[in-house]
Amino acid sequence: MESELAALPPPRYLVDLSPLLAETSGGSFMLEPFTVEDRLDDELFKAAVQVRIDRTNRGVRIVGSVRGSQEGLCGRCLAPAAAQLDTAVDEEALEERHATEGALLIGKGNSVDVGRLALEALDLSRRLVLLCTPPCPERCGLCGANHPASDCPERGLDPRLAGLAALLPPEGDEGAPIG
């Protein structure tokens, strides 16, 4: 049991649902907007969260929006890069007596970690590969410099094609018209 608790991430923004759970279904309240941030896979996620929590007959429904940013390294040039993210949150947290496999449950003390839900929603809408804005130049696959491979000064002729190169006209020479 203790090893399970040690594996859980620390709570980000716990919300006590006791007053809402004391009501019958149909009750609702708006949470004050809040911000939360976390580092996931060497990238920093910052989020501004605005949600409403509604009472349902099985627990609560958390509905709202998350706007934030994903900060990390560019997948091409490894310079710092950031992307703006915008997503929706629509989750139902169930009371334990209505629990089903894989469902989000209302935790101890009638609380739900809304901050963790917001970060998970942002993580699901993240860019798989961050790129610079405006886009950075293409990296050369031959030498690694900031230019396309077609412009590489180290680009040489493949020795297997040397026989064909002899058939090409000298550079700058148009050659004879074909046909």
pLDDT digits (tens, 9 = 90+) for 95-144: 888 878 878 888 888 889 999 999 999 999 999 999 888 877 767 777 77
Task: Identify whether the C-beta of residue 93 lies closer than 8 Å to the C-beta of residue 15.
Answer: no
pTM tops 0.75: no
- Please determine, for residue 162, whether its predicted confidence score (pLDDT) is greater than 80: no
d(CA 133, CA 124): 21
- pLDDT band for position 64 (50/70/90)? very high
CA dihedral (23, 26, 30, 36) positive or negative = positive
How far is residue 43's CA from residue 73's CA, in Å, rounded to a whole number? 8
Which pLDDT score, from 0 to 100, does residue 176 have?
Answer: 60
Say which amino acid occupies 81.
A
What pLDDT is recorded for position 122?
A: 92
pLDDT at residue 89, as a whole number: 95
Residue 145's contacts (CB-CB under 8 Å, 6 or more residues apart) are 139, 152
Tokens representing 130 are: 């961050």
| Those residues with Cβ within 8 angstroms of residue 141's Cβ, 6 or more apart along the chain or in another chain | 149
Among 162, 165, 138, smallest CA distance to 152 is for 138
DSSP letters, 54-117, are EE-SSEEEEEEEEEEEEEEE-TTT--EEEEEEEEEEEEEEEPGGG--TT-EE--TTSEEEHHHH
